[in-house]
Structure 1
């Protein structure tokens, strides 16, 4: 399906190295050289493009709808993430790019008969394809899957998302098998592994952590088949708690030469191609009022009691008058609002040239160690995994403080103290462990702070499935909840009209048969 539907779609060029085979921003099967390409030549570009998609496309929507970001002063917007008026043109690339990049990984997997010795490459392609399809089902529910990647099917059927999820877990099993039982003449990973540099043990940890994330999507499901799936999968995962312990980074050689060769955060939220001005996304995006009050320590209600200024706040947002000033979503601010901090976009240094180099060459982050620890904390608190939930909660906070204490390029940062912070928040409801009547609330709140900006789409999904942290709605919206899903893109209604379900704006705000599986 997507091999044909998207092969003519020119997407934003995400990154190319000096070798043109890294340019996989469109389907490759119609290229004259495709047959001769090996998985080794295809892998780096596919992984990098997915990383850009997660950070920029999915992250932009997630940060907005999860109230991390608002509008800067001097800007107005009709963004549906703030108006709650959605249609088929709203955030279309969340769907389209997810399929495009899933298909890039499928292109690699389709090479197995021709190149059987690339087992490790196929393992990476499997887990990355699963991540792409996970976001399709979480954001849209039913979707093409069983017929989606066939080169001969131009109008694939839509599968029930409750049948896609078990298939994704089987794909993760296959990903593991590629690493644990490779072909006898397996070719080792080299520089094309832009994530772990050929360390297969780390890839196995990552696969386990991705599975943990997907299993927790099922934390509140009442579907009998999915409950059984959750129980059986957790039993296996619990017996081998081998998860990510360090930040998972991506860097194929980011540099300052062109806009598309720069690390994704800097390219989107740093400087324009000529380094003459901040990008429009840098200028327009600012702190959301909820996130601002949370890190300022001024959020005190029945759900969260703070009173603690978060030491990470100036590395998340800029300060205005010594504090983070947030935008109430739905209101156009007329006074100065805190912007994205330089720690996020990376443009900082002794002079402009050094600052641009620091930002442009910085690693991208596929997953933070903090997320791994908070996933484990939640799973343990819910009884899905054995072990101390509090220990993983503390480890998650500590990992986040370490993340925000880590310099890059020429930048060295003063270390932030997680021990003092954990002690100061311990008695605070919804923020610290001991004082929280609902431990899941505390886990989700700390996860929200740790992943804010860096993985906004996870914050949105977490909020939708757990209710935490409790987020206010944008001012003036005609809804009582956040949208449970998105509407399928215009491209589907025009090219696959016989199969794509009709979804109305009203159906986004109720739980119904079209609501994604994890909310039913």
Structure 2
């Protein structure tokens, strides 16, 4: 599967932004000198490829399904994220890229016998491979796992996702053991996330486990419920989670299109800087996200009236407000687009703005996400602690994120989270005191903090919790959002004997094909 099925898309994903590390990772096992490559020569490329997958492929799909994005004026679309008409050609990169990148990390792990001292690198590879498989199971359910990364098996069996999930937690434990091993070869610049700081990696492992455990908040499967209880008992003992934004930068620059920060590369300017990219031109604010940050939602789910100070750093303003597109409608009037804070293209001149965008850090996890995960776990009684404090810390972390400059940008007037928290406190669905359902407030504030940056989590959260309550696109005949995607045509053609049949109707019902966390 891994060497044959995805060879055709390998060059579309892997790119070189820091020649020293990424170039050697480009061809991986197809290289005649692959056996001589050491884990430190492979790590940065794998991390960079995963980051691009998360902040572009997954973010784009999630932002559409979570109603953060809609269409810009003058554009039409048959995108299944707006029509809910899916087939095996719909968002295939969500599956294919996860396996290709997971294979990047497995190739590092396969070096254990030849280079046993690179245990820190193996720890990173373990947790990142888990992240790939997490999104496969969350978006598709049953999937290849045990046989997926075996060179000798070109048609791997599909396994019950309820059986895969416990194995992922075991892999997280194996990652911890790698980080704890003595005599490890140090990580340096090839660790373009934490620069070789294993203590920070351990915090990240804990936070990823927290996220995966909260995926199980709705499940009624007895085995998974028992797993959730046991794992939270151990996690609760340390509660050592991410407290700062987790950034990635292997040396992003404006030398070529593929060497740029992936958000800027996809959503900023074209290679010659002569025009906006197609994504920049076509995507714009969604109506729900626009109304939420404008403070104009007042219904049984959210009582607002509070303008969100972050809105101008999320979307452009038209007449002093965010104007969003009603999904399913092809707009002809002006719609708010990406704000320059999101694309990174801002500065005193065009050249400086492009440089700022191209060289900017990418974000693997925002500190706000970690705090909102903790708040939800505390509110559900899974972790000890004060959920309200974690909730407020999440809001503060988001305001700090939107108040932090980059490149030549210095933000002179930071946003004030204290004033915002006071203004929303009595508001149902937004503030702590006024929300009858605290989970609703936590997930809605998480939505605001992660919108655009980590859109796939907003979509999964909505499926899992029902929050925030989102309108459906205009004209769709379905009554809910899809629970999953259909396996890509590449699987049906190359692994047809194993790939389950999934129809468009299966996406909108709960059955054995529905991902584990919704059963």
Compute the TM-score of the two structures, normalised by the length of structure 2. 0.99
User: Residues 288 and 329 of structure 1 are in contact (CA less than 8 Å); yes or no, is this contact kept in structure 2?
Assistant: yes
Aligned to 2:191, which of 190, 193, 197? 193
CA shift at 1:25, angstroms?
A: 7.5
The equivalences for 1:196-215 within 5 A come to 196-215=194-213
Q: Aligned partners of 1:378 and 1:350: how far apart in 2?
A: 41
CA contact (8 A) 1:27 1:104 kept: no
- Count how many residue pairs are aligned between Structure 1 and Structure 2: 518
Is 1:121–1:189's contact at 8 Å kept on the other side of the alignment? Answer: yes
> Does the CA contact (< 8 Å) of 2:61 and 2:455 recur in 1?
yes
Partner of 1:273 in structure 2? 271
Q: Provide, for residues 132-187 of structure 1, a one-character-per-residue CA deviation record: whole Å limited to 9, x for no partner.
A: 000000000000001101100010100000000000000000000011124x3x11
Residues 24, 49 of structure 1: 8 Å contact kept: no
Are residues 1:63 and 2:63 paired? yes
Alpha-carbon distance in 2 for matches of 1:19, 1:360: 16
Does the CA contact (< 8 Å) of 1:26 and 1:100 recur in 2?
no
Deviation by residue 1:311-368 (Cα, 9 ceiling, x = unmatched): 0000000000110000000000110000010000010111100000011100000000
Instruction: State the 1:222 CA deviation.
Output: 0.2
- 1:14 to partner: Cα distance: 4.5
Cα distance, 1:11 vs structure 2: 3.8
**Alpha-carbon offset, residue 21 of structure 1:** 5.1
Q: Deviations over 1:170-221 (max 9, x none)?
A: 0000000011124x3x111101010001111000000000000000000011
> How many Å separate the matches in 1 of 2:326 and 2:17?
41
- 1:149-298 correspondence runs (5 A): 149-182=149-182, 184=183, 186-298=184-296
Determine if the alignment matches structure 1 residue 495 to structure 2 residue 504: no
| CA shift for structure 1 position 412 | 1.1
2:105 is matched with: 105
What residue is the counterpart of 2:328 in the other structure? 330
C-alpha separation in 1, matches of 2:24 and 2:334: 40
Match for residue 359 of structure 2 among 355, 361, 364? 361
Task: Give the C-alpha shift of residue 18 in structure 1.
Answer: 5.1
Report the TM-score, using the length of structure 1 for normalisation.
0.98
Q: Give the gaps of 5 or more residues in structure 2.
A: none
- SS of 2:144's partner is coil
Q: Which residue of 1 aligns with 2:416?
A: 417
SS at match of 2:284: strand
Are 2:445 and 1:446 aligned? yes
Matched residue of 1:70: which SS? strand
Aligned-pair distance for 1:440? 0.2
Question: 2:347 maps to which residue?
Answer: 349
Partner of 1:249, secondary structure, is strand
1:4 to partner: Cα distance: 2.7
Contact 2:302-2:430 within 8 A present in 1 as well: yes
RMSD: 1.0
Task: Give the distance between the partners of 1:491 and 1:24, measured in 2 at CA.
Answer: 27
